Amino acid sequence: MNPLQTHREIPSLGMLDSMRAILAAGGGRVDMGSTLEAMHTRHGEVVRQHGGIVRIVNIFGPDDNRMVLLDREGIFSARKPWMQIMGHVFPNGLLLRDGADHRHHRKLMREAFKRPVLHTYLDRMNPMIQAGLDGWAAEPGRRSMYPALKALTLDVAAAIFIGGDLGGKAPAMNRAFEDMVAASMSRVRLPIPGLEYTRGLAGRRWMLDFLRGLLPEKRSQGGEDMFARLCWARGEQEAFLGDQEVVDHMVFLMMAAHDTTTSTLCSMAYLLARHPHWQERLREESLALPAGPADMDSLAHLESLDLVFREALRLYPPLPVIPRVATRSFGFKGYEIRENTMVVISPIHTHRMPAWWSEPARFDPERFAAPRLEDQRHTHSFVPFGGGTHICLGRRFAETQVRAVLHQMLQRFRWSVPDGYRMPVQQAPISKPRDGLPVQITPLKG
């Protein structure tokens, strides 16, 4: 029987409840996780939410994640929702492509993220991490961790992605990215001076001008950085990417590389500050390695760091929700999901479901270790990098960079937060501390 012939009415959050949820969550940015949990508890597994002219349906749990991310029936578009959300500031990034077009561009870009290339990236980033931490050592004491890590990851991104030192342009680029990311969540999208949307458009123009100025050199001389690799990447018909395609990919990749990495590093720094016995456990492993930067093989042996990395991604996934748009109507759990509905799955909710995680609100990295292996109870209960054909292409790069930074931090510093401190988190569009994460940094002796 056609499931669409037996559909039930999808439970609705209701206009009043929807508005309360938006207001309580600070416009949907601050506490998305609690809002989704309440929605799931009160209304069930498939919930319609008012989104103005956009039909939004939230679905919950690992089975739902698998259905959407694997998309075995070819129902969903990633481009349509992401174009609605961020297409005005990040058009034509890999995340905003579908089907054959997505496969083509992903294949071209994959060469820049293979393991041998990651080795060269690590060789480049290690001295930059060391130099950045030298600045911390020169001024120990109280420090806002988020801006400090963001400056460090932006410098690394510049070296890896464009092959140079930003110098005096670093503050302008950082501001451009912050404005562009904020604009992706703007509710009022009019080019009115002073609005965050307008600042986001200005940030995009700055990035385009900056990268276009580097294109001729990258096209003519090549290089080992990612910008040059994209300029020289060829498809099956030996065709190069066009200038605008290269620039659009670079804008999106540089944002994703340093914003999501900064998010994860901040979450790990906070959790290790709150749980000093885990910080000492990781430090013991790092100090067992030779002093200074580590190579890929050495980083792979930091098992406790890997456990904390995964637990931080579980508790604070950089991307809290993943949207798709249904390209045709389909039946799901006895409901009809209509064509052009935005279907949303929520890592931030799935990662805290008691059915899949023991004491889900508790920081417990051992849940990822044998014999528990809680993340293996279901293939899609742990999805910080998405899944399916759109799984994050740069996840190995992100893992390498996070391990490299934390390893050097652990070898050189201890850090702490006051008793009772809890990091206030803005969960969307990318998870980050609202107060900058103030910590006390103390250099290790010797």
The stretch 101-116 carries a mean pLDDT of: 90
Asked whether residue 203 carries a pLDDT value surpassing 60, the answer given is: yes
What's the pLDDT score for residue 9?
64
> Which segment of 13-22, 114-123, 267-276 scores lowest on mean pLDDT?
13-22
Helices within 354-441 (DSSP H only): 395-412
What's the helix, strand, coil split of the chain in %, to 5? 55, 10, 35
Q: Which two tokens stand for residue 81?
A: 């929702």
Beta carbons of 299 and 322 less than 8 angstroms apart: no
- Interaxial angle between packed helices 303-315 and 276-287, expressed in degrees from 0 to 180 and rounded to the nearest 10: 140
* Beta-bridge mates of residue 441: 141, 415
Token pair 């929807």 is found at: 18
Beta carbons of 69 and 159 less than 8 angstroms apart: no
Token pair 């702490």 is found at: 416
Q: Which two tokens stand for residue 234?
A: 């060829």
What's the pLDDT score for residue 8?
66
Asked whether residue 26 carries a pLDDT value surpassing 60, the answer given is: no
The whole-chain average pLDDT of the chain stands at 89
The stretch 229-255 carries a mean pLDDT of: 84
Q: Which two tokens stand for residue 367?
A: 């849940």
pLDDT tens digit sequence for 85-94: 899 999 989 9
Q: Which two tokens stand for residue 347?
A: 């890592």
What's the pLDDT score for residue 3?
39
Token pair 């950085």 is found at: 225
What's the pLDDT score for residue 323?
95
* pLDDT category of residue 22 using cuts at 50, 70 and 90: very low
What's the pLDDT score for residue 6?
45
What's the pLDDT score for residue 386?
96
Q: Compute φ and ψ for 219, nearest 5 degrees.
A: -65, -35
What's the pLDDT score for residue 240?
82
Omega into 62 within 30° of 0, i.e. cis? no
What's the pLDDT score for residue 241?
85
Helices within 294-339 (DSSP H only): 296-300, 303-315
Q: Where are the domains of the chain?
A: 96-320+350-443
CATH superfamily of 96-320+350-443: Cytochrome P450 (1.10.630.10)
The stretch 372-399 carries a mean pLDDT of: 96
Q: What is the DSSP letter of 169?
A: G
* pLDDT category of residue 174 using cuts at 50, 70 and 90: confident
* Beta-bridge mates of residue 54: 51
pLDDT tens digit sequence for 114-130: 899 999 999 999 999 99
Percentage of residues in the chain having pLDDT higher than 70: 92
- Interaxial angle between packed helices 395-412 and 243-274, expressed in degrees from 0 to 180 and rounded to the nearest 10: 40
Helix, strand or coil, per DSSP, at residue 429: coil
The stretch 415-435 carries a mean pLDDT of: 92
Distance CA 130, CA 27 (A): 39
What's the pLDDT score for residue 285?
97
Asked whether residue 21 carries a pLDDT value surpassing 80, the answer given is: no
Q: What is the DSSP letter of 158?
A: I
pTM passes above 0.85: yes
Distance CA 309, CA 264 (A): 8
What's the pLDDT score for residue 164?
79
What's the pLDDT score for residue 379?
97
* pLDDT category of residue 181 using cuts at 50, 70 and 90: confident
Distance CA 272, CA 440 (A): 12
What's the pLDDT score for residue 55?
87
Asked whether residue 167 carries a pLDDT value surpassing 90, the answer given is: no
The stretch 177-182 carries a mean pLDDT of: 89
Asked whether residue 2 carries a pLDDT value surpassing 50, the answer given is: no
Q: Which two tokens stand for residue 270?
A: 């906070």
Asked whether residue 340 carries a pLDDT value surpassing 60, the answer given is: yes
As a whole number of Å, the CA-based R_g of the chain is 22
Asked whether residue 397 carries a pLDDT value surpassing 60, the answer given is: yes
What's the pLDDT score for residue 23?
35
Token pair 């999106």 is found at: 252
Asked whether residue 258 carries a pLDDT value surpassing 60, the answer given is: yes
Asked whether residue 24 carries a pLDDT value surpassing 60, the answer given is: no
